[in-house]
Amino acid sequence: MIQAGVIGVGQTKYDAKRRDVSMAGLVREAIDNAMVAANIEWDAIDAVVLGKAPDMFEGVIMPELYLADAIGAVGKPVLRVHTAGSVGGSTAVIAASHVCSGQFKTILTITFEKQSESNATWALSPRYPFSPHINAGAGGYFAPFMREYIRRYEAPEHIGWKVAAKDRQNALKNPLAHLHIPGIDEKMVSDTPMLWDPLRYLESCPSSDGACAMVITSQDQVGSRNVAWIKGMAVRSEGTLSAGRDEVNPQAGIDCAQDIYKQAGITNPFNEIDCAEIYVPFSWYEPMWLENLGFCDLGEGWKLTDRDATAIDGEIPFNMSGGVLSSNPIGASGMIRFGEAALQVMGLAEDHQVEDAKVAMGHAYGGAAQFFAMWIVSSSLD
């Protein structure tokens, strides 16, 4: 198979309301940053892959049509991906697939959400014919899964506060992060109101405007550039409702992780992966994904969190950038994980760099914890 790598990552400043830019301006900000980082000219871009979550988040249908000029796609192939919250990750996988297919050399991929244009909880709460109307938003939907995790493994309440505080402390090292909360600690999190038991206000992700772009190219185009080599990538889906489905530890997540480990030749992810950007929109998803992704046995995830293993200087740092808990432009949130993983192995993560990171993981999930996209990137091709 053709080897592909990331040669440029570009992000916007994330914020609740980016009133200074239009949607076109927002995506272009990330793209310009990616193109400069990749040190590449527009002529070298063979195709553009755009991803975002539901069109109802902005009220623009199939926005690749309106954005064709802003994303530099005019005269080129463009593909629009929508796979729920995992979309930022699956868009990166599809962009890399363009290169690995042999049909294209260099791809620009861009994901965005401008949540301030609409109201995500409204858009997430449609009235389906013949179905009960659950006006819950995402937090209310996932809360029962987290309660079940806590029940199964007798996890103490402070684990959720700890994850929320740790990710926001990391965000203070990332100037692009949406939430910068000086002095954030467990106490501050635990003092905030309960939104959806067990989630308190500061244990939930924010609504953000933002975009993330990457330039992905084939081995023969890399030249002397700094590269994050894609060593494994995969997607998996499972149905919303099926007999025996375990929402706490979804099989699709297990399968997807095992697939990329196999591709990358990883047998012990805890030891062999230096750091990971994992999709944790609600605090309890950190211990849940630690287990689902095979970093530890079932029931052991919260103990890793408790002993600071996921801190930026811990054994397996999670979400050094501040994660989804600190910036959540939904359609881009997955690609930010993939792009931040790439920045780590390129050594470009600045103040939130994990020392000597060589192998990193990017992860995204969506729907009812049923859609997964993941990749492993490495500083070396071997």
Partner 1 sequence: MKKVAVVGYAQHPILQNAGALNEVELIMPVVHQLFADLGICQDDIDFTCSGSCDYLQGAAFAFVEGLSAIQTNPPIKESHVEMDAAWAMYESMLKIQMGDADTALIYGFGKSSPGDLDSIISLQMDPYYISPLWPDRVSLAALQARVLLDQNIITRDQMLAAVIEARVNSKNNKNALITDLIDESEYLDNTMISSPLNKLDCPPISDGSSAMIIASEDKAYEFTDHPIWIEGIDHRIESSNLGSRNLSRSNTLQVSMGQLDLNNIKFDVAELHTQFSHELPFLKSLLNLADVPTNLSGGPLVGNVMMCAGLDAIGKTFESLKENQFKHGLAHATSGPCLQHNMLVHLEKQK
Binding region for partner 1 (CB under 8 A): 1-2, 22-23, 53-69, 73-84, 90, 94, 97-98, 100-103, 117, 123-124, 126-130, 234-245, 250-252, 255-256, 367-368, 370-371
We find the least distance from the C-beta atom of residue 209 to partner 1, in angstroms, to be 14
We find the least distance from the C-beta atom of residue 43 to partner 1, in angstroms, to be 14
Nearer to partner 1, 275 or 369 (CB): 369
Nearer to partner 1, 96 or 155 (CB): 96
Could you list the beta-strand ranges (E) of 4-61.
4-11, 47-51
Instruction: Show the tokens assigned to 162.
Output: 């700890």
Nearer to partner 1, 138 or 146 (CB): 138
Long-range residue pairs from 120-127, CB within 8 A, at least 24 positions apart, any chain: 120/57, 120/207, 120/330, 123/54, 123/56, 123/57
Residues 89, 237: Cα–Cα separation, whole Å: 13
Non-local CB neighbours of 26 within 8 Å, separated by 6+ positions: 12, 18, 112, 114, 209, 210, 211
Closest Cα partner for 251 from 152, 371, 139, 141? 371
Instruction: Show the tokens assigned to 104.
Output: 């294209």
Q: How many CB atoms lie within 10 A of CB 80?
A: 17
Nearer to partner 1, 1 or 182 (CB): 1
We find the least distance from the C-beta atom of residue 94 to partner 1, in angstroms, to be 6
Nearer to partner 1, 95 or 346 (CB): 95
Nearer to partner 1, 39 or 103 (CB): 103
Nearer to partner 1, 238 or 286 (CB): 238
Instruction: Show the tokens assigned to 299.
Output: 């029931």
We find the least distance from the C-beta atom of residue 143 to partner 1, in angstroms, to be 18
Helix/strand/coil for 154: coil
Residues 274, 1: Cα–Cα separation, whole Å: 25
We find the least distance from the C-beta atom of residue 254 to partner 1, in angstroms, to be 9
We find the least distance from the C-beta atom of residue 28 to partner 1, in angstroms, to be 13
We find the least distance from the C-beta atom of residue 260 to partner 1, in angstroms, to be 12
Instruction: Please name the residue that has the structure tokens 């929109």.
Output: 281
Instruction: Show the tokens assigned to 18.
Output: 């980016």
23: left (phi over 0), alpha (psi -120 to 50) or beta: alpha
